[in-house]
Amino acid sequence: MHRFGSIIKAVLLQVHSIAGLVLALLLSLIALTGVIMSFEDEIVDHLNAGIMQVAPRTTPALLPDELVTRLNAVPNAGKVAGITLSSDPSAAAYIRFARDGQGTRPSSFYLDPYDGRVLGVPRGEDFFATVRRLHRWLLIPGDAKGWGRQITGVAAMGLIVMLISGLVLRWPRRASSVKMWLKPNLGFSGRGLHRSLHAVIGTWVLPIYLVMTLTGLWYSFDWYKDGVIWLLSRPHVAAAKVQPKQSSGRAVPAQPVGFDRAWSTLLREESGGFAKAQLMLPPGPGTVMRVRSWPKDSTLESMRDEFRIDAVTGQVVSVERYADKTLGEKAIASVLDIHRGTVLGWPGKLAFMVAAAMMPLFAITGVLLYLSRRKLRRPAHPPLGRLVPGE
């Protein structure tokens, strides 16, 4: 039995080592780009504090379509894809543009909601957008429709293999050894220090890495996403989410689709009890808009209500209230917040950031341990100067 266990551990060590050598650089890149984005919201808000706020006025704010009309007078303004409005009278309106023919999305604008004046382009937004594309799709052409998402997904599955094999290899033989199992020995040097840092710190961050990979796979593979929805959602909700997407509404209207009717419907449905709302025009033919609304007591990006509203008639096609979701459905809605550690507040975000920043440590110590093992296995040859005839 002991021999069988030794064989299993030897095989797991080979699997762990090979996966680590193949994926070390890729996982380090994905982890470090994740580190950069950890506090993206706070950084962007700080950089743009001067253009995100306006002086409140007694006059009513302009309707969304009027804001877009005034924006169209700005030279080189792109095609508006969405607008974010706030119930705070001192908050600026945020305009997001659609991608152009080359697939490039023009920089967003902040507007004064009372007169439509352009306040400025948000600083840092393009930088973080590039980092996000590198993190998710490795800047491979096609973005979410290219090969990048599958490559990062395979890397995530490889990390899961390393986490499981590493845990089995580290499992203590006696309960009394658990304390030593979790305490690095900084008194070692060379191979001993590398092994201690790699194994012990790896044990500390293992739960965080497991959460990161399991949630990261959501963005890489549709079969994985559909499986999670089936597992955690109520049957009718799962059926609605995984069915093939239909055309977003009726035929293309004679006049361009606007925001005003959907905005009026949202105000009626939410009765003014929201902090901000995002209205997104249909990406293709159709008239049904996606509208997201965040309650005033919302603490997470995922704590939002989602509507589908016909932009021509103002009719509500569907609505998903966050408060009506089951625990599993809330988990699905919170995949990104869980992936980033945001569900645990800023301490969680900080813990996830530190854990991700340690990925290069495991790559470096893993390579050093692999090289030292090869050196130890190399047969020692006696010095040629000591050979005597006949040897």
Higher pLDDT, 41 or 241: 41
**Domains of the chain by residue range:** 2-40+133-222+348-377, 49-122, 234-325
Q: What is the mean pLDDT of the chain?
A: 88
- The CA dihedral of 222, 36, 322, 245, to the nearest 10 degrees, is -30
Cα-trace Rg, the chain: 27
| 162-189 average pLDDT score | 78
In the prediction, which pLDDT does 122 show? Answer: 94
pLDDT at 74: 78
Quote the CA–CA distance of 336 and 313 in Å, as a whole number. 33
Per-residue pLDDT reduced to its tens digit, 17-61: 999 999 999 999 999 999 999 999 999 999 999 999 999 999 999
At 378 the pLDDT is 64
HEC states along the chain? CHHHHHHHHHHHHHHHHHHHHHHHHHHHHHHHHHHHHCCHHHHHHHHCCCCCECCCCCCCCCCHHHHHHHHCCCCCCCCEEEEEEECCCCECEEEEECCCCCCCCCCCEEECCCCCCEEECCCCHHHHHHHHHHHHHCCCCCHHHCCHHHHHHHHHHHHHHHHHHHHHHHCCCCHHHHHHHCCCCCCCCCHHHHHHHHHHHHHHHHHHHHHHHHHHHHHCCHHHHHHHHHHHCCHHHHHHHHCCCCCECCCCCCCCCCCHHHHHHHHHHHCCCEEEEEEECCCCCECEEEEEEEECCCCCCCCCEEEEEECCCCCEEEEECHHHCCHHHHHHHCHHHHHHCHHHHHHHHHHHHHHHHCHHHHHHHHHHHHHHHHHHHCCCCCCHHHCCCCC
CATH architecture type of domain 234-325: Roll (3.10)
pTM of the prediction? 0.87
Query: What is the per-residue pLDDT across 212-235, written as a single tens digit (0 to 9) for each?
Result: 999 999 999 999 999 999 999 988
Is the pLDDT assigned to residue 333 strictly greater than 60? yes
pLDDT digits (tens, 9 = 90+) for 272-302: 689 999 999 998 788 899 999 999 888 888 9
Give percent of the chain above pLDDT 90.
64
Question: In this predicted model, what pLDDT tens digit does every residue of 90-109 receive, in sequence order?
Answer: 999 999 998 877 777 888 99
Instruction: Report the distance separating Cα 239 and Cα 229, nearest Å.
Output: 9
pLDDT, tens digit (0-9, with 9 covering 90-100), for 343-380: 999 999 999 999 999 999 999 999 999 888 877 776 65
pLDDT interval class at 388 (50, 70, 90)? very low
pLDDT, residue 389, reads 43
Q: What pLDDT score does 365 carry?
A: 94
CA of 25: how far to CAs of 28, 32, 81, 102, 233, in Å?
5, 11, 36, 30, 36
In this prediction, residue 391 carries a pLDDT of: 36
Band of the pLDDT at 390, cuts 50, 70, 90?
A: very low
